[in-house]
Amino acid sequence: MGVGGLIVIGGDGSFHGAHFLEQEHGVRVIGVPGTIDNDLFGTDYTIGYHTAVQTALNAVDRLRDTGASHERIFVIEVMGRHAGHIALEVALAGGAEDVLIPEDPRPLSEVIDNVQAGLDRGKLSSIVIVAEGYPGGANAVSEAITQATGQESRVSILGHIQRGGSPVAQDRVLASVLGEGAVLALLEGRTGVMVGQHGHDLTYTPLEATWTQRKDVLRSLYACVRRLSV
């Protein structure tokens, strides 16, 4: 085909295509992780993730104003069909009362107890962050909270605004570092790997491992959200 090398930016769908191009046509390929979900094995962070978190957090800050002034519970749904990375960071940074993620479909009674405990202590508003992939999404969570506590709650589904806009500095830096790493990898003769970053180190993970292995959410963050939401 006359293609010396190909750098593919994307997630597991794009990497599947890149893998088959390499296997079936001998094209040298390097993957660069790009997804707001941050759910790719082989890198601490993916390009787009930090921007999506910041965008969602800005929305949470705005919704908090109505929550406080109107004394309401807000159930805010963030993206993440299969992953709770965005939800966890938004919940922690946004001071949410609780967070629900697909990796841990715990019973809603726990969230209700948490919200009720806040109400009993005189809290006038609460924020619950729900990742899109949690069963039933924000609507189911809101209905259950209202039914159990008798308090009005409002749902806000942030949707596709989380996947666009001007990237935050962390994403620009990450994209620059990984982009350079991908070009250098090709020049060094590497192929069939995704360039990622662990701490300050660049790493190269076989493309197949990025979809056969799973990156877990940071359990320490999850525990921290729940400890701080008292």
Ligand X SMILES: O=P(O)(O)OC[C@H]1O[C@](O)(COP(=O)(O)O)[C@@H](O)[C@@H]1O
Least distance from ligand ADP to the Cβ atom of residue 178, Å? 15
Residue 168 to residues 55, 80, 105, 172, 224, Cα–Cα distance (Å): 9, 19, 31, 7, 24
- With binding defined as CB under 6 A, does residue 11 bind ligand X? yes
| Catalytic residue flag (residue 37) | yes
Report H helices in the chain. Answer: 12-25, 49-70, 85-93, 108-120, 137-149, 169-187, 207-212, 219-228
- With binding defined as CB under 6 A, does residue 37 bind ligand X? yes
Answer for which of 64, 163, 190, 215 binds ligand X (CB under 6 A) is 163
Closest residue to ligand X in the complex (CB): 81
Beta-carbon contacts of 13 under 8 Å, excluding residues fewer than 6 positions away, are none
Stretch of residues binding ligand ADP (CB under 6 A), selected from 11-19, 23-31, 132-140, 162-170: 11-19
Q: Which two tokens stand for residue 208?
A: 């197949």
Stretch of residues binding ligand X (CB under 6 A), selected from 78-86, 96-104, 146-154, 178-186: 78-86
Stretch of residues binding ligand ADP (CB under 6 A), selected from 16-24, 60-68, 145-153, 156-164: 16-24
- With binding defined as CB under 6 A, does residue 79 bind ligand X? yes
Phi, psi dihedrals of residue 104, rounded to the nearest 5°: -145, 80
Distance (Å, rounded) from C-alpha 138 to C-alpha 78? Answer: 9
- With binding defined as CB under 6 A, does residue 17 bind ligand ADP? yes
The gap between the terminal CA atoms of the chain, to the nearest Å, is: 60
Residue 118 to residues 39, 97, 222, Cα–Cα distance (Å): 32, 8, 19
Answer for which of 29, 35, 92, 111 binds ligand X (CB under 6 A) is 35
Q: Which of residues 27-66 bind ligand ADP (CB under 6 A)?
A: 35
Residue for token pair 């001071």? 95
- With binding defined as CB under 6 A, does residue 16 bind ligand ADP? yes
Catalytic position from the list 37, 39, 98, 171: 37
Least distance from ligand X to the Cβ atom of residue 186, Å? 24
Phi, psi dihedrals of residue 51, rounded to the nearest 5°: -70, -40
Residues annotated as catalytic are: 37
Site residues, ligand X (CB under 6 A): 11, 35-37, 48, 79-81, 132, 163
Site residues, ligand ADP (CB under 6 A): 10-14, 16-17, 20, 35
